[in-house]
Amino acid sequence: MTLADTESHMQKAVEATQRAFNTIRTGRANTSLLDRVMVEYYGSPTPLKSLANINTPDASTITIQPYDKNSLTQIEKAISLADIGLTPNNDGEVVRLNIPPLTSERRQEFVKLASKFAEEGKVSIRNVRRDAVESARKQEKNSDISKDEALDLQDEIQKLTDKYSAKIEELLAEKEKDITTV
C-alpha cells in the first residue's frame, strides 16, 4: 500500500462520515435527509431523488414533486417506512414534509449520534493506518526498503492519520453546532 493509497482511503473515510452527518436532522429543512429513502417504483427500489424534484421552500418545509404523479402514494409510503421521523402530507400534486422544531432531548440524541458517526470514521482511519503500517513492515521484512525508510514511512502514515482525524473532529464540531443552534 503506497502513501497515496493510504491518503485516498482516509479521504474516503472522511467523505463517508460527512455523508452520515448529512442524514442527521438539525431542525432546519435539508434535502439530504431524504438521501436514504428508496421508493418501490414499478417493482424495483429506486432512490427518491431520481423520482422527484426535492426542494426546501422555507426553513421548516421540504416539498417533493414527483415527475410521475402516479408515484405519489409510493413516495408517501416510502417516506413513512424510512423512519426519518417525519409525516408526509400529500395534496395530490406535491408531498410536503413539515420539519418540527427539535426538543432539547432530541438535540442531545442527535449530538450523540453524530459523535458515534465520527468515532466510526476515526476507527476506519485507524484501520487504514494499521494496514499501511503492516504493509511498510512487510516491505522492510522483504528487504524492499531499509529500516530507516520504513520508519519514515510510518511517521508519514501517522501524520496522515492525525490530519484526517482532525478533519473528522472539525466536521463533528460543525455538525454539533448545527444541531444545537435553535
Q: Parallel, antiparallel, or unpaired: how do β-strands 38-41 and 44-47 relate?
A: antiparallel
Q: What is the mean pLDDT of residues 94-110?
A: 86
| Range(s) of the chain covered by CATH 3.30.1360.40 | 31-98
Query: What pLDDT, on a 0 to 100 scale, did the predictor assign at position 182?
Result: 67
> How distant is the alpha carbon of residue 3 from its chain centre?
25
In CATH, which of 3.40.1440.10, 1.10.132.20, 1.10.3210.10, 3.40.50.720 is domain 3-22+103-180?
Answer: 1.10.132.20
Residue 97 has pLDDT above 80, yes or no: yes
65-89 average pLDDT score? 85
In the chain, which residues fall in CATH 1.10.132.20?
A: 3-22+103-180
The type of residue at 171 is L
Condensed to tens digits (0 to 9), the pLDDT of residues 20-49 reads: 888 787 777 788 888 888 888 888 888 888
Assign a CATH topology to domain 31-98.
Answer: Gyrase A; domain 2 (3.30.1360)
Query: In the prediction, which pLDDT does 153 show?
Result: 92
The pLDDT of 55-63, averaged and rounded, is 87
* Tens digit of each residue's pLDDT (9 = 90 or more) over 122-142: 999 999 999 999 999 999 888
In the sheet that holds 61-66, the strands lie side by side as: 52-58, 61-66, 95-98, 88-90
